[in-house]
Structure 1
Amino acid sequence: MRRSLIRTALFLALAGIPAATLTSTALAQKEGEQMRVLPQAELDVVKVLLAQERAWNEGNMEGFTASYKNSPDTLFIGSTVTRGFEGMVATYRRNYPDRATMGRLTFSDLEPHLLDDHFATLTGHFALERDKKHGGNAGGVFSLVLEKTPGGWKIILDHTTS
């Protein structure tokens, strides 16, 4: 539910309707928790993941990895630690060599938090649906640190567990 509500908020934001016009019930995390509206800056952080999801599901690895900062300092932490953008891209290409292996990716329970004007965190869940012969379904949680760059918000640290 939260994911569809975030998409609604993003649609309104892209349409030029301020997030503040949404009701306070628009972005509930879990039943019984206080609901809140995401400020535009947090919506901008969430858009990074929505763009990743869209690119992945189109089989566009280049579009997916464009959400990461192209820097030798970018870190990806999974079963191992990968340092640098180029190494991370190589790992993704090795682990997901074709569209069938990529499957269908969905993100949920996205929680953005601005640390200041230049850095933010984003946590959530991912689900990867694919047939058994291409690796089967997978899922887990992630935490990201993003930096606001001249090119927009970019992931500088990705810690993903399955």
Structure 2
Amino acid sequence: MFKKGISVLLLCVAFSVNAVPTDDIASILEQQEAAWNRGDLDAYMQGYWNNEQMRFVSNGKFRYGWEETLAAYKKHYPDKATLGHLTFTIKETKMLSNYAAIVVGRWSLERVKDNPNGVFTLLVEKIDDRWVITHDHTSD
């Protein structure tokens, strides 16, 4: 009986460690933040789903597709001065299922001329065994 109890306990511990992937999801934003701050937009985009159905909503516009989003980032942030220093602050991660989560937070840029900031809501999904942002709604 004692061995069975330990086995059940170990099984519960193993599942509880992997049951809530919020650390994996937070890691996406940490990696994006680091990539942005070193001026590497290609690496920044690795957090997004590389698919034409990936959606980015900002400034009243809908943008679809990984390539189009990367091109827009490169157009609007052509150099280190415009990129500035990015900080993400996650306010909440709500698991919708084992394969989807909503992340709500704040973003801020520190630049020489200004310090824009705003909020974001992300749909993060597990696709091909990897967590990626499939929908990003960012506003000032």
Of structures 1 and 2, the larger Rg is shown by 2
Deviation at 1:109, TM superposition (A): 3.7
Name the counterpart of 2:24. Answer: 44
Alignment of 1:1-162 (within 5 A): 40-79=20-59, 80-132=61-113, 136-150=114-128, 152-162=130-140
Secondary structure, counterpart of 1:147 in structure 2: strand
> How many pairs were matched up?
124
Partner amino acid for 1:53?
A: E
SS of 1:69's equivalent in the other structure is: coil
Residue segments in structure 2 that go unaligned for 5+ positions in a row: 1-13
C-alpha contact (below 8 Å) 1:46/1:110 kept by paired residues: no
CA contact (8 A) 1:108 1:126 kept: yes
Amino acid at match of 1:158: D
What is the CA distance between 1:151 and its match in structure 2?
Answer: 5.4
Q: Which amino acid aligns with 1:88?
A: T
Q: When you count helix as a share of all residues, which structure comes out higher?
A: 2
Overall identity of the aligned pairs, in %: 36
Given the two structures, how large is their TM-score scaled by the length of structure 2? 0.82
Partner letter of residue 70 of structure 2?
A: V
Aligned to 1:66, what secondary structure does the other structure show? helix
Tell me the C-alpha RMSD between the 2 structures: 1.8
| 8 Å CA contact 1:140, 1:160 repeated in 2 | yes
Q: CA deviation at 1:40?
A: 4.6
Cα distance between partner residues in 1 of 2:71 and 2:137 = 17
The one-letter amino acid of 1:104's match is H
Amino acid of the structure 2 residue aligned with 1:156: T
Mapped to 2, the partners of 1:150 and 1:95 lie a distance apart of 31
